[in-house]
Structure 1
């Protein structure tokens, strides 16, 4: 008779040291922000960052976050960002958690020498949290692309 012992899948790989864990999460916070933090800063006049919607121009025109500018991720280049201030942090967003457009945009912008944070949740969670939008369709716009 064989006795099976169960092994924890959680503990199969040992946890990192507190120092490694702290460094990991601080590094993560250095490149990410979320909808609530962006909204808070905007409400309190603390938006010293440039907010860029990296979705298509059509999606932006239909519905976007007030104050955002449109720069689709595929169009990010030295030429299209020539007037941006490299000292100003840029916050990018796309459709939502299932979209990697903001990740691509952040990669392109950081490759050009900009400080960038990705807004987790994107437009989907901006709207789910009841925040204001503007555009030709506004609230009637599709929530995902």
Structure 2
């Protein structure tokens, strides 16, 4: 008796890639809802008015541990009652929380969108802001850490992406 072995398909292509138009629509929609740490940092550094408000949706204890300079502090649970007093509906909001293992920025973005705000989520959150070597504030003052070479180019400020 001869055994027949069927080779498993390539795990990457087990599900075929989307058609180009479908893929383009998906990625365009992703970029309409997300920004990355480097782009947010460049926008904040490049102009007195970046055209958006950066919102930290974490607790007060987390905010005190460190936050992005210029960010507005509004914990997610307080968004329904306090957003109107802190945010202008005509100005887009970019939310962030701890990092990629936390969906707090997503929950905050949802709460704001449901209230009628235009909103994006900053991918990587506070963790990647710090890991990429950008300045942050604590109750003791401003700090900056050496960039993590696994998250940011070691010798240049732009990864080229």
The 5 A counterparts of 1:99-114 are 99-114=102-117
Q: 1:15 deviation in Å? A: 1.4
| C-alpha distance in 1 between matches for 2:36 and 2:89 | 22
Q: Which runs of 5+ in 1 are unaligned?
A: 141-145
Q: How far 1:139 sits from its partner (Å)?
A: 4.7
Shift in Å, 1:2: 2.1
Q: How far 1:104 moved relative to its partner?
A: 0.4
* Cα offsets for 1:36-60 (capped at 9, x unmatched): 0000011111511011000101111
Q: Distance in 2 between matches of 1:98 and 1:28?
A: 18
Superposition pairs of residues 54-69 of structure 1, within 5 angstroms: 54-69=57-72
SS in 2 for 1:82: helix
Alignment counterpart, residue 101 of structure 2, candidates 91, 98, 110: 98
Q: What CA distance in whole angstroms lies between the structure 1 residues aligned with 2:56 and 2:75?
A: 7
Aligned mates of 1:88, 1:72 — CA distance in 2: 19
Partner of residue 143, structure 1: none
| Aligned length, in residue pairs | 139
What residue is the counterpart of 2:45 in the other structure?
A: 43
Q: Which residue of 2 aligns with 1:5?
A: 6
- Among 128, 133, 139, the residue aligned to 2:136: 133
What's the secondary structure of 1:76's corresponding residue?
helix
- Alpha-carbon distance in structure 1 between the residues aligned to 2:84 and 2:99: 27
* Aligned-pair Cα RMSD in Å: 1.5
Partners of 1:76 and 1:63 in 2: how far apart? 20
In structure 2, runs of 5+ residues without a counterpart are 145-161
Give the equivalent residue in structure 2 for 1:32: 34
2:82 matches 1:80: yes
Q: Partner of 1:2: helix, strand, or coil?
A: coil
